[in-house]
């Protein structure tokens, strides 16, 4: 059984992409107008891609198992012990590092159409590395894999795997967002769908592969692990299927699915997803009827593993052939943004021309659903949750959706003034509402912790909140410097101009604005208690300290004659664009948009301050009324003792003056 499983997976994952690469030969390189690097470079690159994909999946799956799928009780789950998953993590991350490191070299050769012998030329590799995106992306993956590999040997606590988790998340996305989905009309949709798919695939497929490896090695998979893996699949599998459809439509660019090799590979990938879905549904039906046995689990997991290997192999094979969207006539606007903006950004255009931002729509939908489920859990338990907090949370994400998916989001790339409106909305307005939602407090109240039962959501949140790295990063001084310094570091350097050329970088900027704003306002008016809470007077000073920096930044933009990201805007060459006027508007928005929300925050802070004083006063009155607070009586008794002591103390004797007669 094990031999058949390994053989089938290897055939689907490694042999199939290599056969495709060999059969295609020089044709894909000719289509891209680059030289043929030779069959050796093509085959080695394809093999390394397959190995890297498999190692990435297993690494991600091992992390998911160690963090969320273990059945260890909460009192011991906080600490990591040597076991099967740790061993798998170390081996997989080491293999990932080897493949990614080799891909830095071979992707530089392959993407530039350069034969292997060229490496003998001095300085050839740095030049080739700089000439394309692929080797840069695999450099990020290589560094992240090294982080995961070394940290896995020294992590003793659950929180020690947080850094490898974040490193893995960034590393798996780097080759994807800079790959085929970066090119062509509507690549904003393709890129966002690929982001969701990559995260879901690595979480669910990776965890399933680790479960298969555990079964093949003769170890048991606990019922709790299977239940939690099933819950991940309930969320991840629909995301994978829907995103795959979006990516397929994007890559085909309106062409017939049977008219290209990419189309046939898409069909093969769909077939693998159908097999995985059927396996998932059958397992769910058997489990619901109480008929799921060990033999069923082994067989179903094995079949799913082969299908996952096939789907991954198809994905690797797809990278060897330029998809149809590469060859669709594309304007310069579509090259940079994925869509065209022929109309000037009037109010009617900004509020009427919507273009869905799939990334932030997905994040907002997930955040609201999780929040409402937690509120419902509290209500079913008989606890109350303030309606105002729910309204603030939904309102904050509504601001995010409007800022990114309306005409404001559509024109945030080609118009600097509109960009600053979106920036301020994500950095100032939305976070101010979101922190009033108190999501951490809600999740803690909605979940339970029992040290004798397996660790769950309540334990995970508690461990993260007490994580020293988070407490260091949540330091008010660090948050303040990042919050204020982001403006100057992003816009007054070349970073903004470079990032605006890529959809993924634009999305990263928006996400950065939102997260930093959330951290900043959580320290001032947030419902959740931060690791280092500020006193009310300190919160007021925290707000006032930021206001001059916003004003000064706005003045710089309004008075500067140097156009920020001028090269990017000149590339777009939009007929309605007035770069100087747009920058002046952006400076005004940065000034007023920074001052007005901060003034609103000051008002909210004053209200919170007065409510806190009133609450303390009521608490004091209740203690006095119930007799539980004897501070006042003790004070009166102390005064009475002092008075009694003064009364009983002997006074000085009167002095008798004798008259003297001469």
Q: Are residues 237 and 277 in the same domain?
A: yes
Domain boundary among 599, 621, 637: 599
311 near 21, Cβ under 8 Å?
A: no
Share of the chain above pLDDT 90, in %: 60
Instruction: Enter the pTM of the model.
Output: 0.89
Establish if 43 belongs to a structural domain: yes
Domain boundary among 561, 577, 599: 599
Reply yes or no on whether the pLDDT at 90 is more than 50: yes
Establish if 657 belongs to a structural domain: no
- pLDDT value for 165: 94
Establish if 608 belongs to a structural domain: no
Domain count, the chain: 2
Reply yes or no on whether the pLDDT at 632 is more than 60: no
Residues 6+ apart with CB under 8 A from 472: 478
Domain that includes residue 498, residue range: 347-599
* For residues 256-282, average pLDDT: 92
Average pLDDT, the chain: 87
Least confident of 126-135, 167-176, 463-472, 597-606: 597-606
Per-residue pLDDT reduced to its tens digit, 192-204:
999 999 999 999 9
Q: Are residues 386 and 499 in the same domain?
A: yes
Q: Are residues 88 and 189 in the same domain?
A: yes
pLDDT band at 620 (very low <50, low <70, confident <90, very high): low
Higher pLDDT, 595 or 543: 543
* For residues 25-43, average pLDDT: 92
* For residues 424-432, average pLDDT: 91
Per-residue pLDDT reduced to its tens digit, 354-368:
999 999 999 999 999
Higher pLDDT, 298 or 662: 298
Q: Are residues 351 and 262 in the same domain?
A: no
Q: Are residues 317 and 358 in the same domain?
A: no
Per-residue pLDDT reduced to its tens digit, 294-320:
778 888 888 888 899 999 999 999 999
- pLDDT value for 621: 54
Reply yes or no on whether the pLDDT at 662 is more than 50: no
Q: Please report where in the chains the tokens 């963090």 appear, as a residue.
A: 67
pLDDT band at 625 (very low <50, low <70, confident <90, very high): low
- pLDDT value for 598: 65
Q: Are residues 324 and 461 in the same domain?
A: no
Reply yes or no on whether the pLDDT at 661 is more than 50: no
Establish if 648 belongs to a structural domain: no
Reply yes or no on whether the pLDDT at 89 is more than 60: yes
Establish if 613 belongs to a structural domain: no
Reply yes or no on whether the pLDDT at 56 is more than 50: yes
- pLDDT value for 350: 94
* For residues 408-415, average pLDDT: 94
- pLDDT value for 552: 87
- pLDDT value for 529: 86
Q: Are residues 439 and 471 in the same domain?
A: yes
Reply yes or no on whether the pLDDT at 615 is more than 60: no
Reply yes or no on whether the pLDDT at 655 is more than 50: no
* For residues 399-407, average pLDDT: 95
pLDDT band at 331 (very low <50, low <70, confident <90, very high): very high
186 near 38, Cβ under 8 Å?
A: no
pLDDT band at 646 (very low <50, low <70, confident <90, very high): low
Q: Are residues 319 and 351 in the same domain?
A: no
Establish if 472 belongs to a structural domain: yes
Q: Are residues 91 and 171 in the same domain?
A: yes
Higher pLDDT, 624 or 123: 123
Reply yes or no on whether the pLDDT at 482 is more than 50: yes
Reply yes or no on whether the pLDDT at 657 is more than 70: no
Q: Which one, of 338, 8, 384, lies nearest residue 193 by Cα?
A: 338
Reply yes or no on whether the pLDDT at 660 is more than 60: no
Q: Are residues 81 and 218 in the same domain?
A: yes
Q: Give me the DSSP letters along 2-20.
A: HHHHHHHHHIIIIIHHHHH
Establish if 634 belongs to a structural domain: no
- pLDDT value for 630: 55
For the ranges 415-419, 483-487, 641-645, the maximum mean pLDDT occurs at 415-419
Residue 488: count other Cβ atoms within 10 Å of its Cβ.
13
Structure token pair of residue 393 = 């949370």
Per-residue pLDDT reduced to its tens digit, 493-515:
889 988 999 999 999 999 999 99
Q: Give me the DSSP letters along 341-406.
A: --S---HHHHHH-----HHHHHHHHHHHHHHHHHHHHHHHHT----HHHHHHHHHHHHHHHHHHHS
Q: What angle do CA 318, 322, 326 make, to 5 degrees?
A: 130
Q: Are residues 193 and 84 in the same domain?
A: yes
Domain boundary among 328, 359, 391: 328
Q: Give me the DSSP letters along 295-359.
A: HHHHHHHHHHHHHHHHHHHHHHHHTTS--GGGGS---HHHHHTSS---S---HHHHHH-----HH
Establish if 609 belongs to a structural domain: no
* For residues 337-361, average pLDDT: 94
Q: Are residues 85 and 232 in the same domain?
A: yes
Long-range CB contact pairs, 385-391, < 8 A, 24+: 385/442, 385/445, 388/436, 389/436, 389/437, 389/438, 389/442, 389/527, 390/437
């Amino acid at each position: 059984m094990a031999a058949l499983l390994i053989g089938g997976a290897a055939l689907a994952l490694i042999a199939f992409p290599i056969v495709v690469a060999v059969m295609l030969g020089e044709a894909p390189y000719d289509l891209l107008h680059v030289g043929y690097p030779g069959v050796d470079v093509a085959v080695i690159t394809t093999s390394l891609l397959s190995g890297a994909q498999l190692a990435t999946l297993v690494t991600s799956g091992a992390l998911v198992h160690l963090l969320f799928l273990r059945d260890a009780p909460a009192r011991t789950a906080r600490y990591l012990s040597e076991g099967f998953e740790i061993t798998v993590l170390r081996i997989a991350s080491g293999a990932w590092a080897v493949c990614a490191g080799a891909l830095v070299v071979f992707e530089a050769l392959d993407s530039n159409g350069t034969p292997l012998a060229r490496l003998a030329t001095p300085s050839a590799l740095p030049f080739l590395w700089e000439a394309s995106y692929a080797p840069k992306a695999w450099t990020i993956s290589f560094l992240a894999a090294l982080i995961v590999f070394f940290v896995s040997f020294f992590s003793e606590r659950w929180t020690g795997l947080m850094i490898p988790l974040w490193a893995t998340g960034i590393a798996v996305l780097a080759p994807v967002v800079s790959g085929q989905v970066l090119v062509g009309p509507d690549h904003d949709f393709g890129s966002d769908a690929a982001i969701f798919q990559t995260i879901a695939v690595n979480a669910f497929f990776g965890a399933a592969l680790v479960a298969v490896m555990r079964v093949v090695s003769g170890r048991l998979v606990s019922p709790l692990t299977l239940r939690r893996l099933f819950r991940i699949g309930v969320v991840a599998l629909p995301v994978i299927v829907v995103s795959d459809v979006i990516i397929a439509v994007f890559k085909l660019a309106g062409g017939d699915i049977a008219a290209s090799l990419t189309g046939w590979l898409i069909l093969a990938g769909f077939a693998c997803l159908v097999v995985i879905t059927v396996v998932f549904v059958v397992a769910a039906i058997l489990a619901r009827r109480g008929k799921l046995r060990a033999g069923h689990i082994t067989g179903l997991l094995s079949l799913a593993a082969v299908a996952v290997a096939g789907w991954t192999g198809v994905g690797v094979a797809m990278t060897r052939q330029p998809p149809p969207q590469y060859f669709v006539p594309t304007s310069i606007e579509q090259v940079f943004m994925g869509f065209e903006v022929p109309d000037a950004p009037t109010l009617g255009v900004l509020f009427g021309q919507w273009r869905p931002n799939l990334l932030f729509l997905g994040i907002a939908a997930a955040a609201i659903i999780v929040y409402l489920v937690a509120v419902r859990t509290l209500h079913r338990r008989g606890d109350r949750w303030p309606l105002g907090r729910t309204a603030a949370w939904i309102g904050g994400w509504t601001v995010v959706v409007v800022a990114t998916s309306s005409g404001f989001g559509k024109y945030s790339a080609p118009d600097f003034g509109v960009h600053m409106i979106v920036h301020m909305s994500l950095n100032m307005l939305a976070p101010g509402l979101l922190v009033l939602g108190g999501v951490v407090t809600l999740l803690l109240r909605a979940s339970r912790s029992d040290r004798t039962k397996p660790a769950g959501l309540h334990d995970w949140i508690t461990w993260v909140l007490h994580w020293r790295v988070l407490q260091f990063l949540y330091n008010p001084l660090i948050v303040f410097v990042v919050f204020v310094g982001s403006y100057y570091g992003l816009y007054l350097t070349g970073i903004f101009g470079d990032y605006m050329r890529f959809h993924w970088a634009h999305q990263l900027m928006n996400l950065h604005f939102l997260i930093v704003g959330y951290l900043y306002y959580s320290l001032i008016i947030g419902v959740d208690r931060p690791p280092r809470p500020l006193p009310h007077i300190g919160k007021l000073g925290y707000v006032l300290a930021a206001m001059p920096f916003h004003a000064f930044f706005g003045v710089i933009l309004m008075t500067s004659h140097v156009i920020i990201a001028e090269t990017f805007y000149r590339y777009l060459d939009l007929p309605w664009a007035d770069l100087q006027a747009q920058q002046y508007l952006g400076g005004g928005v940065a000034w007023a948009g920074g001052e007005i929300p901060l003034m609103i925050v000051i008002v909210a802070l004053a209200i919170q301050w007065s409510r806190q004083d009133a609450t303390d006063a009521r608490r004091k009155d209740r203690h006095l009324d119930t007799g539980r607070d004897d501070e006042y009586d003790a004070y009166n008794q102390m005064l009475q003792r002092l008075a009694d002591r003064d009364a009983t103390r002997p006074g000085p004797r009167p002095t008798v003056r004798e008259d003297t007669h001469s």
